[in-house]
Amino acid sequence: MHNIEITDLRKLTEFIQNKYGYDFTNYAMSSFRRRIGRVLELNKFPSIDHLIKKISSDAEFFEEFVSEITVNVTEMFRDPSFWREVRDHIIPNILLNHQSINIWHAGCSSGEEVFSMAILLREMGIEDKVKIIATDIDKSILSKAKRLSVPIKNMDLNEKNYIRFQGSENLSKYYTEQNGRAVLDTSLVENVSFREHDLVKGIVFNKFDLVLCRNVMIYFNQILQNDVLKKLHESLFRYGYLIIGSKESLIWCEIANKFIVVNNEEKIYKKIKD
Minimum Å distance from CB 151 to another protein? 13
H/E stretch holding 257 reads none
Query: What Cα–Cα distance (Å) separates residue 206 from each residue in 115, 202, 212?
Result: 21, 12, 14
Nearer to another protein, 30 or 257 (CB): 30
The end-to-end CA distance of the chain, in Å, is 46
Q: Which 3 state secondary structure label does DSSP give 26?
A: coil
Helix 6-20 to helix 29-43 angle (10° resolution) is 80
Nearer to another protein, 9 or 101 (CB): 9
Indicate whether 85 belongs to the interface with another protein (CB under 8 A): no
Site size for another protein (CB under 8 A): 33
Stretch of 10-18, 24-32, 174-182, 204-212 lying at the interface with another protein (CB under 8 A): 24-32
Minimum Å distance from CB 161 to another protein? 7
Nearer to another protein, 107 or 240 (CB): 107
Indicate whether 163 belongs to the interface with another protein (CB under 8 A): no
Minimum Å distance from CB 157 to another protein? 8
Q: Which of 10, 30, 47, 205 binds another protein (CB under 8 A)?
A: 30
Query: What Cα–Cα distance (Å) separates residue 72 from each residue in 24, 37, 40, 113, 227?
Result: 16, 16, 18, 12, 22
189 C-beta neighbours (distance < 10 Å), count:
21
Q: Which of 23, 64, 159, 248 binds another protein (CB under 8 A)?
A: 248
Indicate whether 95 belongs to the interface with another protein (CB under 8 A): no
Distance CA 48, CA 39 (A): 10
Among 107, 117, 114, 116, CA closest to 138: 107
Q: Which of 13, 74, 110, 158 binds another protein (CB under 8 A)?
A: 74
Among 226, 221, 231, CA closest to 199: 231
Q: Which of 15, 17, 28, 237 binds another protein (CB under 8 A)?
A: 28
Q: Which of 245, 259, 268, 269 binds another protein (CB under 8 A)?
A: 245
H/E stretch holding 144 reads helix 139-146
Q: Scan residues 167-206 and list those touching another protein (CB under 8 A).
A: none
Distance CA 49, CA 65 (A): 15
Q: Which 3 state secondary structure label does DSSP give 121?
A: helix
Minimum Å distance from CB 215 to another protein? 5
Minimum Å distance from CB 29 to another protein? 6
Indicate whether 105 belongs to the interface with another protein (CB under 8 A): no
Distance CA 2, CA 4 (A): 6
Indicate whether 29 belongs to the interface with another protein (CB under 8 A): yes
Which residues are near another protein by CB under 8 A? 1, 6, 28-31, 33-35, 71, 73-74, 78-81, 160-161, 164, 215, 217-219, 221-222, 225, 245-249, 251-252
